[in-house]
Amino acid sequence: MPRWECAIEGDDSQFDRVEDLIVHQSTEHDRVSCKVCGTVVPDGYFAIKHAFDEHSRAEYVRAYDASAAEVRRRENIKESVEATADMSEVIDRLEG
């Protein structure tokens, strides 16, 4: 089974479970401000989720000066996490 890698600012921490990765990103890294609307969110998965759930691809590309490949990479990450993660467990742990 593939491991989940953090990859925020060169953090190469790896996790067997995606839920552990999301909790790590949410608690061990600074929050970031969305360049489209200014909303502050945890970096990593939640930042990607916010960007693609709340804004259009075009808004994301303009605000982040992102290439089509970068957009596809983030969309794939979002889809992979959402297909695998038990988000109720993540929320329970973060609200803990």
Q: Which residues contact 16 (CB under 8 A, 6 or more apart)?
A: 1, 3, 4
Annotated domain spans of the chain = 4-92
Instruction: Give residue 6's Cα distance to chain centre.
Output: 9
What does the pLDDT look like over 70-92, one tens digit per residue? 999 999 999 999 999 999 999 99
pLDDT, residue 96, reads 86
In angstroms, the CA 20 to CA 26 distance is 10
pLDDT, residue 1, reads 56
What does the pLDDT look like over 19-32, one tens digit per residue? 999 999 999 999 99
φ/ψ of residue 14, rounded to 5? -125, 150
Specify the 3-state DSSP secondary structure of 31.
strand
Specify the pairing of strand 14-15 against strand 31-33.
unpaired
Prediction pTM value: 0.92
